[in-house]
Structure formats: C-alpha cells, structure tokens
A and B are shown apart, each in its own frame.
Chain A
Amino acid sequence: MELSFYLVQLLNAVQYGFLLFLVASGLTLRFGIMGIINLAHGSFYMVGAYLAYWLTDLTGSFWLAILLGLPIALGVGYLVERFAISFLYQRDHLYQVLLTFALILVFNELQQILWGTDVHGVVIPEILAGSIPLTDNQSYPVYRLFISAACIAIACGMYWVIQKTRLGMMIRAGASNREMVQALGIDVNRLFAFVFSLGVALAAFAGMLAAPVDSVYPGMGENVLIISFVVVVIGGTGSIKGTFVGAMLIGLVSTFGKVLLPEMASIMVYALMAIILLWRPHGLFGRAV
C-alpha cells in the first residue's frame, strides 16, 4: 500500500475524530458541570440526522435543513432538561442512568412513529459534491473535508466561548465547584438548562453533518453514544482538551484498525481504553473525583 492510501485513511480518521469530539464534548461538559450522566445523548445525534433528512426533503436544501434543525434540537434539549433531567441533579447516578436509558426507548419509538424504520440517505449539497484528486486513482471527497472544517470552526468557537466570555467563566467555575458558583449568586438552573441544550445541539449538529456520509437509520445513535463514552473516559470527564485528544486517538485507532486488523477493530478501541485507565484511572486529563 502506498503513501496516499495512508493519507486518505489519516484524513478519514481525523474527520471521524472531529465528529466524535462534537458529540463527546456535550457529554463531558455535562459530567463536569452538572454531574449528570446522559445515556440519551446518542438519541440526539440520531434526531439530528433524521432532522437533516426530513428537512432536506421538505425544503430541498441541506443548508436550510441545518438552519431550521438546530433551533428544533435546542428546543428538544431544553424540554428534556426541564421535564426530566432537572429532577435528577440531587439524585444518585443510578437514577440518571435509568431515566436516560428509558428516554432512549422513548426516542427510538418516537423516531419509528415519525419516520418509520427505513434506512434513508441525504444527498451531499452540490457545492461540496466533488472530490480532490490525490494521485491517478485516489481522490478525497470535498464533503469530508468540509466536516472537518466545520468541526474545527465549532471547536474554536467553543474554545473562545469557554475561555474568553463571561458565560464561559461561569461554565468553568461550575465545573470546578458547583456549590461555590451557586453561592456567588449565579442562577445555576439557567446555566444547567443552557449547558444541557447546548450539548444536545452539538450532538444533533454532529448527526446532521454525518447524515450525508453515513446513512440515516434507526438506532444510529447508540454506537456513537458508547464510543463517545469511551472518548470521555479516556480524556477525563469535564476536560474539553482531554475529550479532543481522546476523540482523535479513538478516530485514529478505529479507522486504522478497520484497515489493518478488520477483525479486531472494534475491540481495539476498548482495549486502548482499558490500557489508558490502568495507567491513569481518571483519564488522560481528568482529576481525581
């Protein structure tokens, strides 16, 4: 195999890593700030993909679908936080696991009622439909580059919000000491609702971006969910930097695993996690809890 082949795989790995980063950052923010474990996170990824499919069909434009879909996802996130998650902040993780597990069942069923069980595809928008030739017989689709670019933009935006704004200051403070933030007079409920909805929107956005390259099918969120857990565990909960490193590691291992050792690919990801945790029980950038 030649160099360009590895280059293509490397680009794929990075793109997959970026998508994972989008999904997992929502998870890690919630662990860090709200102390909430949310299994239904994968469902929001699925909701995003289905919104992209449905709205593209309806409006005829992928861009319009994203534009309309994001507020819907934010709204769904807000409702779920208000009517389910907000009751669980003081409760044991066990109840959070159980309630969000039940939410998965509910979301899966709602998805089947609304959109059926067929597998759908979303057409790549025309501007991005081409591909860039690398060698005589290898080329790379522009859309995948676009995914990476969009994710980089979001990551930079998140970095800016979290490091440079007042809101980000509250988020960081919330992650390090929730009670103190509350004592300083910050409305933690509003902060939590915002962080939760933001996480939902990020997961849905990742689902929308992935819809044209991956097909849209029932249960598509669940694999993403568990891999995102692995990413969060490797990176250390609450650490955006750790999540980024974890997502890239998983992207590389799973993409190259599929090419080099197809039978072991899925296991390698978990084995990597086990090794990292044996070495650092709280993840690469996590703190002891």
Chain B
Amino acid sequence: MSALIRSMPLLAALLALVLFPQFGSEYYVGLVSRILIVALFALSLDLLIGYTGLVSFGHAAFYGIGGYALAIAFQDASVIPLWQALPLSLAAAAFAALVIGWISIRTSGVYFIMLTLAMAQMFFYFFFESPRYGGDDGIFLFLKPVLMVGSEDILKLDQENNFYYFALSCLVASYLLLLMILRAPFGKVIKAIKANEHRVRALGYSTSGYKLVSFVIAGTLAGLAGFLEGVHSGYINPSYMSWHESGICIAIVVLGGMGTLYGPIVGAFIIILLQNFLPELTEHWQLLFGGIIIAVVLFLPRGATSLYPHLRELIRRPQRGEREPQEAADD
C-alpha cells in the first residue's frame, strides 16, 4: 500500500504525459517529445554516473551513433521498416559501447573521464571529416520509419502525436527495464561497486565485467535516444556527439538528481525548458545557464528532486503525538 502511495506522484506525472497531446498544441507536443528523448538519454547516463560510479564524459558518442546508424543505413531507402532500423541502431550503439567500454574500464577516476571524452571525440572527428557521411553537414533523412505487419502500416512515426507516444513508450520501457536491473542481484553489485569497488573485488566479484555490462546497457539506451532524435528531427550531424552534448547530459543528471531514476527525467524537463525559454529573456542566456549549473553544483549537489522530501515535510499534517514546531520552540 505504502509503495503505491509513494509512486503516486510518478503515476500522476505519467498520466499527465499520456494526456498531454490531447491538450497541447503541435509545437508543445514536439517540444515535450524532445524532452522525452533527452530524458531517456540522461536516464541511460544515470545508470553509469548515479549507480555504477562511472563518470562517462563521452556518452554523446552512443547518442550520435544511434542516429547515424539509422541515417547511414536508410538514407536512400524508399521505406524504413521500424523493426529493421531500431535493432540496427541499438546494435551499433551497443557495439561501440563494448569497444569504448573495454578500453576505458581499465582506468578509473580522472583517466576514465578523459578517456571516454577522447574516445567520443574520435567518433566526432570521424564523422566530421568523412565526406561520405556528409561531414560537417550530416545526413538528412526524408522518411520516417513505419511499423508494418504484412503490407499493413500499423504505426507511422511521421505524425507528431504518434511519435510522441512512441517516444513516451520507449522512455517508460527503459525506466522499467532499469528498475528491474537495479533490483536484480546485478544492480546490487553495481551499486556496491560505486560505494566501494575494492571490497566488492575482495568479495570475489569481477568488477570490470559488471562495469562493462553496465556501460554497454547505458550505451545501448543512449543509442535508442539517438535513434529517436534522428527520427524526430529528420537529420543527424556530428554535433550530436560533440562533447557539449555529453556535458549537458551530465548537467541534466546532476541537476535532476543522480542515483534516482526519476531525477534525470525531471532534469531533462528543467534544462530543455531553460534552453528553450532563456534565449527569449536575454541574448546572453548562456551566462545565466552556466550560472544556474554552478549554483546547483555549489548549493544543491543532490539535485532538484532532493528538495521533494523537504517539500512533503512542509505540507504533511502533523501526526498524533507530535507537537507543533511552535510549541516545541516555546519550551
């Protein structure tokens, strides 16, 4: 029962997201679609930063690879079958995560941060300098994937609402998948690795294997986000995997609250809405944006969602036997 009560805010938020396209204009449905994609991207990074204790600064590489796999394979196709395109993107991102992870996980701390950054830059420059894949300009994708059974189209992603629900389902499915992973013994081990890797190793676990699996899961989910973004925006270019994207993604996870699954989603809403509306306020919005991130790091290191228990404390009714704070102060 109490578990149900505790998940009430989450269910309410989900309900609001499900109902949103019925009320929102197309522009806002598109905006929230983008937020859902970014939320998925940040959620995948949270598995590394918040649960496994791996500060990956190259997560945008997998995001970009998910998009590029779609664009490269289907740029000249007359139809994009979803059941081919989606697994392809996921496989490409997973494979890249396996390679980058295998190299990076041998190191730790600052080395890991810089190594993941440098590996992502390698992919960035590969696409940036390859005329075959559009170089700097990237690749345009004129069609949207469709889900077909026989010759019947079941789901076409070219309508904003369809895409919205598809993105939302992907986010919810990933959320549930991560929830299951974290409750499984595997999840307990990676959390223990974050807390104290030496002890976990002393208990006989091969920690690098666990870290690598976690890295590949996170990379694959980031690839899913990249796939969605490629479908949504209709083009893919190297800036998808620039280190700015990786940095913003870290900011989203921390600002929302790392080590929780809802934190990155809240963070995505905050950051994308800020990025969307701050420029209307002032031309030099990056100054404000940077200032906000600095303030969060200094004063709210556990993120926006860490405020929630305080908020609940403020509005809850005092229980029997508990005195009003005023009375207690009078003593």
Contacts and interface: CB of A to CB of B under 8 A. Distances in A.
Interface residues of A, number: 48
A259 interface: no
A271 B293 CA distance: 33
Nearest to A273: B118
Contact of A270 (B107, B125, B128): B125
Contacts of B115: 233, 273, 277
State the majority secondary structure of interface residues on A: helix
Q: Specify the main secondary structure of chain B where it touches its partner.
A: helix
Given A37-B110, A226-B118, A281-B107, A94 B289 contact: no
A289 B119 contact: no
B293 A94 contact: no
B101 to A, nearest CB: 13
A103 interface: yes
Contacts of B108: 289
Contacts of A282: 107, 111
A102 B251 contact: yes
B294 A37 contact: no
Contact of B110 (A93, A98, A108, A278): A93
B3 to A, nearest CB: 30
B133 to A, nearest CB: 12
B287 interface: yes
Interface string B102-142: 01001111110111011101100110111000000000000
Nearest to B130: A263
A94 B287 contact: no
A222 B287 CA distance: 17
A182 interface: no
Given A98-B250, A98-B254, A289-B108, A226 B117 contact: yes
Interface of A: 31, 35, 37, 39, 84, 87-88, 91-95, 97-99, 101-106, 108-110, 112-113, 222, 226, 229-230, 232-233, 237, 263-267, 270-271, 273-274, 277-278, 281-283, 289
Interface of B: 49, 55, 57, 103, 106-111, 113-115, 117-119, 121-122, 125-126, 128-130, 243, 247, 250-251, 254, 284, 286-287, 289-291, 293-294, 297-298, 301
26 contacts: A37-B110, A84-B294, A88-B297, A91-B301, A93-B110, A94-B49, A97-B247, A97-B250, A101-B247, A102-B290, A103-B294, A104-B247, A105-B287, A105-B289, A110-B287, A226-B121, A230-B118, A233-B111, A233-B114, A237-B110, A274-B103, A277-B107, A277-B115, A278-B106, A281-B107, A282-B107
Closest 7 CB pairs of A and B: A105-B290, A270-B122, A102-B293, A266-B125, A106-B290, A109-B287, A101-B247
